[in-house]
């Protein structure tokens, strides 16, 4: 009998932690898990799931308008924000219940409370001392808000998902995934949205895709303000004033920070065990998710590798295989498809053009931009844009990007193609499905003329 209370104790019951705990318990070991908030974590309760429900809600705004072009006659629809939030809460409560049951049915013991290290095998969980042979940190991340005057007046995506009413005007600070997704949600539902972009919209994404999104946001009425950071937020009786380092003063009803996320390591007592950190903020791990302390592992956003739910789950599976199933394997981060649920959505896998040129020198680029068939009748100024980046010698497709309806759904299939090393010739040999947008990916024949030659 082990001298520890558990063989494995997991800190954090989000997507990665729950998967790691369940799969480890299935190998017959004793597993406990600590959660300080609610079982389910960011993705299920404060991120991907509730956000996507709000994205669906936002989409109806256009759908109602577009329906008229197809002969539907509707009274002008109205939207009840409070109903949406209540319905969303009902669904996240349901999912929370499912996650609790998944853990219980797997034999994982749930401990409510935040965990902090006393030593490398001993934790304090909400005042209770718990020992474990191994410990897996899967504590996730939380929104970052810079230390500026008036930061207490701002909200983050956590609170945006629980607002009791929709603001008439909102300033969103940031230009990453979360900022553009919420800009789309609020704008479609009727708010006046200002997006404060410090450097570039969607830095790290293909520039053509980001450019298309910029144009689409502007068409939908979102005001993009480039350059500078927020220097302070000031409040009077009826509104807030957001001041920027470039001397702007923007009046608004609500300020939301979507300026990145910080790994959750605060108060965890990591200094008591001497775990090495990356840039002082994320847990450093090796390719098997092992920290500098032998029996302590970490997965998911707290390690700041690739902050995506399916990646955290993949890291959890690799951890369990390596440590408990004698199948040593490390997470593979190549060709991870991802989507931004902006309006319109973006789906992408592989290298963007700039990164591909940096890596390979020269690449072949194929693009297609068109008005989707649905909008031939609605005449809406709404476009889809698709792009393939091909390695000229091997003919392998190394980047595939789309902005437009269904981009997220399409990118998943493209992910398989790129993962198995499909060439442009393989794409060309594939018969398209007509009429779809996705068929463009297998019918693009003309290489784009390189910019310097055009």
Length of the chain in terms of residues written: 454
Q: What is the dihedral of CA 400, 404, 409, 411, to 10 degrees?
A: 10
How many other β-carbons are positioned within 10 Å of the β-carbon of residue 368?
Answer: 17
For residue 410, state whether it binds ligand NDP (rule: CB under 6 A).
no
For residue 175, state whether it binds ligand NDP (rule: CB under 6 A).
yes
Contacting residue, 27, 124, 241, 338, with ligand NDP by CB under 6 A: 338
Q: What is the dihedral of CA 319, 322, 328, 331, to 10 degrees?
A: 0
Binding segment for ligand NDP (CB under 6 A), chosen from 259-267, 383-391, 421-429, 434-442, is 259-267
DSSP state string for 326-375: S-------TT--EEE--SS-EEEEE--HHHHHHHHS--EEEEEEE--THH
For residue 314, state whether it binds ligand NDP (rule: CB under 6 A).
no
Binding segment for ligand NDP (CB under 6 A), chosen from 54-62, 125-133, 194-202, 276-284, is 194-202
3-class state of residue 417 by DSSP = helix
Please, how many CA atoms are within 13 Å of residue 381, restricted to the half-sphere of its CB? 9
Q: Min. distance of Cβ 311 from ligand NDP in angstroms? A: 9
Sign of CA dihedral 174, 177, 182, 185: positive
For ligand NDP, the closer CB: 203 or 379? 203
Beta strands of 138-271 (E only): which ranges?
141-143, 169-173, 192-197, 223-226, 230-235, 240-244, 249-252, 254-257, 261-263
Q: Min. distance of Cβ 217 from ligand NDP in angstroms? A: 13
**Residue, CB closest to ligand NDP:** 176
Give, rounded to a whole angstrom, the gap between the first and last alpha carbons of the chain: 73
Check 79, 111, 401, 434 and give the catalytic one: 434
Contacting residue, 178, 195, 233, 312, with ligand NDP by CB under 6 A: 178
Contacts of 149 (CB under 8 A, 6+ apart): 231, 232, 233, 234
Contacting residue, 10, 95, 308, 336, with ligand NDP by CB under 6 A: 308
Site for ligand NDP in 97-156 (CB under 6 A): 146
Rounded to whole angstroms, the Cα distance separating 108 from 132 reads: 13
Contacts of 200 (CB under 8 A, 6+ apart): 175, 210
For ligand NDP, the closer CB: 179 or 318? 179
Contacting residue, 20, 32, 174, 263, with ligand NDP by CB under 6 A: 174
For residue 359, state whether it binds ligand NDP (rule: CB under 6 A).
no
For ligand NDP, the closer CB: 21 or 173? 173
For ligand NDP, the closer CB: 120 or 154? 154
For ligand NDP, the closer CB: 257 or 319? 257
Using alpha carbons, select from 21, 23, 278 the residue that is nearest to residue 132: 21
Contacting residue, 9, 324, 341, 366, with ligand NDP by CB under 6 A: 341
Count of residues interacting with ligand NDP (CB under 6 A)? 24
For residue 199, state whether it binds ligand NDP (rule: CB under 6 A).
yes
Query: What binding mask, one character per residue, do residues 218-237 give for ligand NDP by CB under 6 A, x or -?
Result: -----------x--------
Output the six-digit token pair for 64: 């109602």
Q: Min. distance of Cβ 282 from ligand NDP in angstroms? A: 12
Question: Which secondary-structure segment (H or E) carries 58?
Answer: helix 48-69
Rounded to whole angstroms, the Cα distance separating 37 from 33 reads: 12
Contacting residue, 8, 23, 123, 173, with ligand NDP by CB under 6 A: 173
Q: Min. distance of Cβ 146 from ligand NDP in angstroms? A: 4
Active site residue 79: no
Exposed, middle or buried by CB within 10 Å (0-12, 13-18, 19+), for 393?
exposed
Rounded to whole angstroms, the Cα distance separating 267 from 115 reads: 8
For ligand NDP, the closer CB: 43 or 293? 43
Q: Min. distance of Cβ 279 from ligand NDP in angstroms? A: 14
Q: Min. distance of Cβ 152 from ligand NDP in angstroms? A: 16
**Catalytic sites, residue numbers:** 434
Site residues (vs ligand NDP, CB under 6 A): 146, 173-179, 181, 198-200, 203, 229, 258-261, 307-308, 338-341
């Amino acid at each position: 009998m082990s001298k520890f209370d558990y063989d494995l104790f997991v800190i954090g019951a989000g997507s990665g932690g729950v998967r790691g705990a369940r799969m480890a318990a299935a190998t017959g070991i004793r597993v406990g898990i600590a959660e300080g908030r609610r079982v389910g974590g960011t993705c299920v309760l404060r991120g991907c799931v509730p956000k996507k429900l709000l994205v669906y809600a936002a989409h109806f705004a256009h759908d109602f308008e577009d329906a008229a072009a197809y002969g539907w006659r509707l009274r002008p629809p109205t939207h009840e924000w409070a109903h949406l939030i209540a319905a969303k809460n009902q669904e996240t409560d349901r999912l929370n219940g499912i996650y609790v049951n998944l853990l219980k049915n797997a034999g994982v013991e749930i401990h409510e409370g935040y965990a902090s290290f006393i030593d490398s095998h001993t934790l304090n969980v909400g005042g209770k001392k718990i020992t474990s042979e191994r410990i897996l940190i899967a504590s996730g991340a939380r929104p970052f808000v810079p230390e500026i005057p008036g930061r207490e007046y701002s909200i983050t995506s956590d609170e945006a998902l629980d607002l009791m009413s929709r603001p008439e005007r909102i300033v969103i600070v940031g230009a990453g995934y979360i900022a553009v997704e919420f800009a789309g949600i609020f704008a479609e539902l009727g708010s006046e949205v200002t997006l404060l972009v410090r450097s570039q919209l969607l830095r790290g994404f293909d520039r053509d895709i980001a450019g298309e999104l910029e144009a689409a946001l502007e068409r939908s009425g979102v005001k993009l303000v480039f350059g500078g950071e927020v220097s302070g937020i000031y409040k009077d009786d009826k509104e807030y004033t957001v001041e920027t380092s470039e001397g702007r003063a923007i009046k608004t009803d609500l300020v939301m920070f979507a300026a990145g996320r910080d790994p959750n390591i605060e108060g965890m007592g990591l200094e008591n065990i001497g775990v090495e950190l990356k840039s002082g903020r994320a847990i450093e791990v090796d390719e098997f998710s092992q920290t500098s302390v032998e029996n302590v592992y970490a997965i998911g956003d707290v390690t700041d590798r690739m902050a995506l739910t399916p990646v955290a789950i993949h890291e959890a599976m690799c951890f369990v295989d390596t440590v408990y199933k004698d199948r040593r394997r490390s997470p593979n981060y190549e060709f991870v498809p991802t989507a931004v649920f902006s309006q319109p959505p973006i789906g992408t896998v592989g290298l963007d053009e700039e990164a591909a040129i940096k890596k390979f020198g020269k690449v072949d680029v194929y693009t297609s931009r068109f008005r989707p068939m649905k909008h031939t009748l609605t005449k809406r100024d709404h476009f889809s844009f698709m792009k393939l980046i091909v390695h000229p010698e091997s003919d392998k497709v190394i980047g595939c990007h789309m902005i437009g309806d269904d981009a997220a759904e399409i990118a998943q299939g493209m992910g398989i193609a790129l993962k198995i090393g499909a060439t442009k010739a393989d794409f060309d040999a594939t018969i398209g499905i007509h009429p779809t947008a996705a068929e463009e990916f297998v019918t693009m024949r003309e290489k784009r003329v390189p910019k310097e030659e055009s």
